[in-house]
Chain A
Amino acid sequence: MIGDFWVHPSLILILGALLLPLVPARLKRGWLLLVPLLVFARIWTMSKGDFGAVFFLDWVLTFGRVDALSHVFGYIMGLMCVVATLYGLHVKEDAQHIAAWVYVAGSLGVIYAGDLLTLFVFWELMALSSVFLIWFRRRPQSLGAGFRYLLVHLTGGVALLAGIILHSQATGGNLAFTTFDVAHPTPAAWLILIGFILNAAVPPLHAWLPDAYGEATFNGSIFLCAFTTKTAVYALCRGFPGMEILVPLGVAMALYGVVYAVLENDCRRLLAYHIISQVGYMVAGVGLGTQMAINGACAHAFAHILYKGLLFMGCGAVLHMTGESKFTALGGLWKKMPWTFVFTLIGGLSISAFPLFSGFVSKSMIVAAGFEQHRLWVGFLLMLASVGTFLHTGLKVPYFIWFGKSHCQPETWERAKEPPWNMTAAMVIASVLCIFIGCYTPYLYQLLPDPQAAQAFHPYTSYHLSETLQLLLFTAVGFFLLLKKLEPTPTISLDLDSFYRTGGRAFLWLARKPVPFVDNCVGEIYRALGLVPLMLTSRLVGVFDNRVIDGVVDGFASTIRGVGSRLRAAQRGSVQENLTLVFAVGILLILALLYLF
């Protein structure tokens, strides 16, 4: 706090982004490093409590709720902002950095929001800024992917807003973002939940994720993979811990991502499907709702941001250097990019929860929470998803990019080399952190919402080590035995986005074919049934008008003329003479009447 004014980390980022175009070119790299470091330092030094209360209309908006839950998410997001900006340091276009920073500012705004209205504003800011990270790829298909991403997120935003309005009405204007009644959720809570799980990419609301993340810029994906889904996980942890439906949904998404990853030919889309899979663990953890499960969800989100960032950095480096991200256009790159291979492998081992890597100390908490509640199906199915994770991210990605048969075009092979120093440095930092978290558990466990319960959890037991090593290494045996089946093919896999993608095409077809047809038919019917009788009637009316009306009028006129000419003949002299005659006749008539009666 500076005086009474609480400096929101998002404010630093937004100001930094706005000033970026004004910074001289030679200082730009320094600025790009300084601003995220300042943000991270600000997050690090923030004391706990409620800050930044603003009175707006009838509401009190809280911009800064700092507690254990928001701190752990804010901390890792601040850290990732530093690493991801470093990774894209050499990108010359200011707008790309501005979009990324505003996006991070949106995420941090959501994390520290104490009320639902503030949350909603930052929630939309995230969607509106992150879409530029897709559009800046500037491929013809990027535009469509960006619009689809935006439309899906704005739809989710509408559900969220509707929920917030209903919730506000039901609570008499209380917008505080606290835990909802998960045992008896109101329609408002359901709508808010839909808004949250859409951002968490829970099937069937998930297809935007691989569609967008596979199409983003090489460095935009690093931001995308870290912030949107994890902000949603935070919101679920805060609002819906123990919500039963999240357990089956989480387990289903953990497996769903794995199945699609088998079929995927694009390495970044494969990683995107594994985000769905990994977020599935977190969603299931939130659904389990115990102390250990919530700790596990937060720990896994923390570890995930780093290792998934690292994996996207590895594949992003391959894309940036070679221009290719498809397995059918890569292979055998170990000679050209061996260090990138090592970093990606570290990411792969971390996501697979290999001992001494970060996933080992985080994922196991959620699985253990499932087993502890005696929900064996949760535990075993999540273990099965772990098999799939190692199969793809630990084995398939490194094997088909750096080993296997080379499918590289000569120019791809020529272009391939280790990435610039800043990209390598970002990968080194992420790799070191992945290993550090895996080896020194107190670092992560102290940050969790319930540090005492977390410290009591010991991942490095002989049983857990033996279990994990067996599971993963025998997966590797299966991988090499079934290698032929996994050979990449130049295909895409239809997901639920095809409903709205082909739905859009169906709409265009509708507009081009049946709508004009119906329009023609209606025109024809109108002509046949409306216009023709109308003309006929008007012709009859014309005849009637000519013959009858005109005849009558003409008849009247000639009659009046005849009567007139007769009257003219009756007129004999001056007016006085006539009047005298009329009066005389009148008087005579009156006298005759008087005499008679």
Chain B
Amino acid sequence: MKLARLIEFLRNRLKTVVRVCLALLALLVLLDAIPGLVDKEPAHTTAEHFPGFWSLFGFIGCGVLIIVSKWFGHAGIMQREDYYDR
């Protein structure tokens, strides 16, 4: 199974894969900052003109969603699996 071998290959070099990914992320923010490359004309708010705005939005949004949801879950929403059978 070639696909499984490819996944194994990447998993064995996890550190390199992570480094490449981080480099790509940095590149993405850098490219966003170049006005000639990313035309910010369709933006609707001034905040969106800030380079890397959506990176920050994604990162913070992700954290907020996880933390708020978990707090909500632990406030009594998450129950044992046999909750309805008892």
A residues within 8 Å of B by Cβ? 258-260, 262-263, 334-335, 338-339, 342, 371, 374, 376, 379, 383-384, 387-388, 391, 461-464, 466-475, 477-479, 482, 485-486, 489-494, 498, 501-502
Of B32, B41, B53, which is in contact with the most chain A CB atoms at under 10 Å from its CB? B32
B67 nearest in chain A by CB position: A485
Q: Is the CB of A491 within 8 A of B62?
A: no
Does residue B16 face the partner (Cβ distance < 8 Å to A)? no
A-B contact pairs, 10 of them (CB 8 A): A259-B68, A379-B44, A470-B55, A478-B58, A482-B67, A485-B70, A491-B79, A492-B78, A494-B78, A502-B84
Given contacts A339-B3, A491-B81, A492-B79, contact A474 B59 (CB under 8 A): yes
Does residue B83 face the partner (Cβ distance < 8 Å to A)? yes
Task: Say how far B79's CB is from chain A's closest CB, in angstroms.
Answer: 6
Q: Mark B59-86, 1 if CB is under 8 A from A, else 0.
A: 1111101111110110011111101100
Q: Is the CB of B58 within 8 A of A473?
A: yes
Q: Is the CB of A391 within 8 A of B77?
A: no
Q: Is the CB of A470 within 8 A of B4?
A: no
Beyond the given pairs A263-B78, A478-B58, 16 more chain A to chain B contacts, judged by CB atoms under 8 angstroms and listed by A's residue number, are A259-B68, A260-B69, A263-B73, A334-B7, A383-B61, A463-B38, A467-B54, A470-B54, A471-B55, A473-B55, A473-B58, A482-B63, A491-B81, A494-B78, A494-B79, A501-B84
Q: CB-CB < 8 A to B24: which residues of A?
A: 473
Q: Is the CB of A262 within 8 A of B54?
A: no
Q: CB-CB < 8 A to A374: which residues of B?
A: 44
Q: Is the CB of B69 within 8 A of A259?
A: yes
Of B4, B48, B53, which is in contact with the most chain A CB atoms at under 10 Å from its CB? B4
Q: Is the CB of B62 within 8 A of A338?
A: no
Q: Is the CB of B69 within 8 A of A475?
A: no
Q: Is the CB of B83 within 8 A of A387?
A: no
Given contacts A338-B7, A471-B58, contact A494 B76 (CB under 8 A): yes
Q: CB-CB < 8 A to A498: which residues of B?
A: 84
Once bound together, how far apart are the Cα atoms of A391 and B64, in whole Å? 12
Task: Say how far B26's CB is from chain A's closest CB, in angstroms.
Answer: 11
Q: Is the CB of B25 within 8 A of A477?
A: yes
Task: Say how far A334's CB is from chain B's closest CB, in angstroms.
Answer: 5
Task: Say how far A23's CB is from chain B's closest CB, in angstroms.
Answer: 36
Q: Is the CB of A262 within 8 A of B77?
A: no
Q: Which of A262, A335, A371, A462 is the one whose CB lies under 8 Å from B39?
A: A462
Given contacts A339-B3, A473-B58, A492-B79, contact A259 B37 (CB under 8 A): no
Q: Is the CB of A493 within 8 A of B73?
A: yes
Once bound together, how far apart are the Cα atoms of A490 and B83, in whole Å? 12
Once bound together, how far apart are the Cα atoms of A493 and B37, in whole Å? 46
Q: CB-CB < 8 A to B28: which residues of A?
A: 466, 469-470, 473
Q: Is the CB of A472 within 8 A of B58?
A: yes
Interface SS of B by simple majority: helix
Q: CB-CB < 8 A to B60: which residues of A?
A: 478
Task: Say how far A273's CB is from chain B's closest CB, in angstroms.
Answer: 11
Given contacts A263-B69, A470-B28, contact A491 B40 (CB under 8 A): no
A494 nearest in chain B by CB position: B77
The 4 lowest CB-CB distance pairs between A and B, nearest first, are: A478-B62, A262-B69, A474-B58, A470-B54
Q: Is the CB of A262 within 8 A of B58?
A: no
Does residue B29 face the partner (Cβ distance < 8 Å to A)? yes
Of B61, B67, B83, which is in contact with the most chain A CB atoms at under 10 Å from its CB? B61
Once bound together, how far apart are the Cα atoms of A493 and B81, in whole Å? 9
Given contacts A376-B45, A463-B40, contact A387 B61 (CB under 8 A): yes
Task: Say how far B55's CB is from chain A's closest CB, in angstroms.
Answer: 4
Task: Say how far B50's CB is from chain A's closest CB, in angstroms.
Answer: 12
Q: CB-CB < 8 A to B53: which residues of A?
A: 470
Q: Is the CB of B65 within 8 A of A466?
A: no
Q: Mark B1-35, 1 if CB is under 8 A from A, else 0.
A: 10110011000000000000000110011011000
Q: CB-CB < 8 A to B37: which residues of A?
A: 462
Once bound together, how far apart are the Cα atoms of A170 and B40, in whole Å? 51
Q: CB-CB < 8 A to A462: which residues of B?
A: 37-39
Once bound together, how far apart are the Cα atoms of A136 and B84, in whole Å? 21
Task: Say how far A266's CB is from chain B's closest CB, in angstroms.
Answer: 10
Once bound together, how far apart are the Cα atoms of A185 and B54, in whole Å? 39
Once bound together, how far apart are the Cα atoms of A118 and B33, in whole Å? 56
Q: Which of A388, A470, A492 is the one whose CB lies under 8 Å from B32?
A: A470
Of B3, B40, B52, B73, which is in contact with the most chain A CB atoms at under 10 Å from its CB? B73
Q: Is the CB of A262 within 8 A of B65?
A: yes
Q: CB-CB < 8 A to A260: which residues of B?
A: 69
Q: Is the CB of A466 within 8 A of B66?
A: no
Task: Say how far B72's CB is from chain A's closest CB, in angstroms.
Answer: 6
Task: Say how far A182's CB is from chain B's closest CB, in angstroms.
Answer: 26
A491 nearest in chain B by CB position: B78
Q: CB-CB < 8 A to B80: which residues of A?
A: 491-492
Once bound together, how far apart are the Cα atoms of A376 and B41, in whole Å? 16
Task: Say how far B43's CB is from chain A's closest CB, in angstroms.
Answer: 7
